[in-house]
Amino acid sequence: MVEQSLMARLPKVDQVLARAELAALAASVPRPLILQAVRLVLEDLRGRLLAGQGVEPEELALAQVAGAAAAQARQLARPSLRRVVNATGVVVHTNLGRSLLAEEACKRLVELNRAYSNLEYDLAAGARGSRYVHVAGILKELTGAEAALVVNNNAAAVFLSLQSLAAGREVIVSRGQLVEIGGSFRIPDVMAKSGAILREVGTTNKTHPRDFENAITSNTGLLLKVHTSNFAVVGFHQEVSLGQMRQIADRYHLPLMEDLGSGSLVDFSPWGLAREPTVQEALAEGADLVTFSGDKLLGGPQAGVILGKAELIERLRANPLNRALRIDKLTLAALEATLELYREPQQALRQIPTLRMLCRPYQELRNQAAALARRLKALKLPRLGVGTREGFSRVGGGAMPLAAPRTRLLEVSVQGLSTTRLEESLRLGDPPIIARLEDGRLLLDVRTLVGDDHEAIVQALARLAGAACPV
């Protein structure tokens, strides 16, 4: 049988290991992974031979096997969590790591994690201190809040607040705000886990102040407003404003909390984005407690920021659960450095990538797309098609779901490759390039490109359109 004779030609592990292709890897890939790669490639060939699947005799050549094993070894050695090129134009892309950190924040993070720090040490007193003081001061300064606390993320912030203030008691929320925020964060579920009792009022599209008032009992613990995030109700629609909720809270002596979700310190409407209440405004309008994410519109690291009345914040801080949800020092370092940039709003807009990307002028995006298109055309690859056109980006992170800032898109095609294959090849490359597929077209939005992303795109397309046989 042909397979029998081919089987005899399958190289031995040691023969493959001795090849230059693998010896060259020894400096960069740990030996156990090289060995594992060789075994995987040989097992695959053996399996295919046994199953009678067509194996070309060339595939058994020593050089060929060693080449395949080297590629496999490099893959095994690659970290799982890797840099990718975000060409989707979704700025706060939760699947791609949300916000990029400002240079200052990256520097601080590295500095403070190479050395010991005063994380929980009061230098003036020479005694144990609190990790929360490092950002509480600047948060109060920037927002006018009485007190501040930070935890692991906003889900934790909401959970800790409900658990501390309303376990066993009723929390009144408008039905139109009982939302699910991607990745399985559902307000009703979080509330149930916290021990608070959900009391929903109003209808999906309309809630009136009297709905809140009618629902208040002696067991009411909190009035809650939730930002509907990734979801927008248009048309016949009415919510009770924070100001109206404040009046009711005052009348019945109840605390009022708002989960802002993205929570921005900046009003983006001058840049053509939606007018959303800022964190400062929510506090000024009377929220006793507001919570928001550190890595959405704030543009910092993953964190949950809680601001508000000192007496309430103290109850949260003292809750034993806080220890389980606590923020780590990497985050604190990056968060403090990010917040410092907000002391000069113009500086924040220039240096915090999330803010910079959201406010980029169209002309700049246009120039950038044109420059990238020129570089691709200069490759003079007949199979590569490149054009630019107008399109729209998205904010992402559940913020401003209806906002669609105008952007410039590169439309790319490679002859002999379908757009779905092209999308996949870019995604599986190194670094992976995440593009947009729209109406059968492959689009790259330049708004979210950073650093040497252009270089990565040029290299990847040169390879795909230059290869004699497309991979």
Ligand X SMILES: *Cc1c(COP(=O)(O)O)cnc(C)c1O
**Which span sits near ligand X by CB under 6 A: 36-44, 133-141, 149-157, 281-289?**
149-157
CB 138, min distance to ligand X, A: 20
Site string for ligand X, 358-397 (x = CB under 6 A): ----------------------------------------
Backbone angles phi, psi at 147, to 5 degrees: -150, 165
**Which span sits near ligand X by CB under 6 A: 77-85, 154-162, 211-219, 351-359?**
154-162
Distance, in Å, from the CA atom of 63 to the CA atom of 67, rounded to the nearest integer, reads 6
Distance, in Å, from the CA atom of 139 to the CA atom of 132, rounded to the nearest integer, reads 11
CB 304, min distance to ligand X, A: 6
Binds ligand X by CB under 6 A, chosen from 16, 37, 55, 155:
155
Nearer to ligand X, 96 or 370 (CB): 96
**Which span sits near ligand X by CB under 6 A: 41-49, 82-90, 148-156, 249-257?**
148-156
- Residue 380, C-beta contacts closer than 8 angstroms, at least 6 positions apart: none
Q: Does 354 bind ligand X (CB under 6 A)?
A: no
155 within 8 A of 296, measured Cβ to Cβ: no
How far lies 403's CA from each of 229, 263, 276, 398, 439, in Å? 12, 16, 11, 11, 21
Nearer to ligand X, 226 or 443 (CB): 226
Binds ligand X by CB under 6 A, chosen from 153, 164, 278, 425:
153
Q: Does 227 bind ligand X (CB under 6 A)?
A: yes
Distance, in Å, from the CA atom of 140 to the CA atom of 151, rounded to the nearest integer, reads 16
Q: Does 169 bind ligand X (CB under 6 A)?
A: no
How far lies 324's CA from each of 139, 149, 152, in Å? 22, 14, 9
CB 262, min distance to ligand X, A: 6
Nearer to ligand X, 264 or 368 (CB): 264
Number of residues that bind ligand X (CB under 6 A): 15
Nearer to ligand X, 202 or 397 (CB): 397
Q: Does 398 bind ligand X (CB under 6 A)?
A: yes
The residue of the chain with the least Cβ separation from ligand X equals 261
Whether the ω angle into residue 431 lies within 30 degrees of 0, i.e. cis, is yes
CB 109, min distance to ligand X, A: 18
Site string for ligand X, 182-221 (x = CB under 6 A): ---x------------------------------------
Rama region for 129: left / alpha / beta (φ>0; ψ in -120 to 50; rest): beta
Q: Does 181 bind ligand X (CB under 6 A)?
A: yes
Distance, in Å, from the CA atom of 204 to the CA atom of 197, rounded to the nearest integer, reads 19
Nearer to ligand X, 189 or 455 (CB): 189
Q: Does 255 bind ligand X (CB under 6 A)?
A: no
Q: Does 293 bind ligand X (CB under 6 A)?
A: yes
Nearest partner of 291 among 156, 396, 105, judged by Cα: 156
Nearest partner of 175 among 214, 205, 195, 220, judged by Cα: 205
Q: Does 276 bind ligand X (CB under 6 A)?
A: no
- Residue 46, C-beta contacts closer than 8 angstroms, at least 6 positions apart: 7, 10
CB 90, min distance to ligand X, A: 14
Give me 340's structure tokens: 């410092």
Strand partners, 388: 410
Residue type, 78: R
DSSP 301-361: SS-EEEEE-HHHHHHHHHSTHHHHTBPPHHHHHHHHHHHHHTTSHHHHHHHSHHHHHHT--
Binds ligand X by CB under 6 A, chosen from 226, 282, 298, 312:
226
Nearer to ligand X, 376 or 395 (CB): 395
Q: Does 307 bind ligand X (CB under 6 A)?
A: no
Distance, in Å, from the CA atom of 393 to the CA atom of 407, rounded to the nearest integer, reads 6
Interacting residues toward ligand X by CB under 6 A:
153-155, 158, 181, 185, 226-227, 229, 259, 261-262, 293, 304, 398
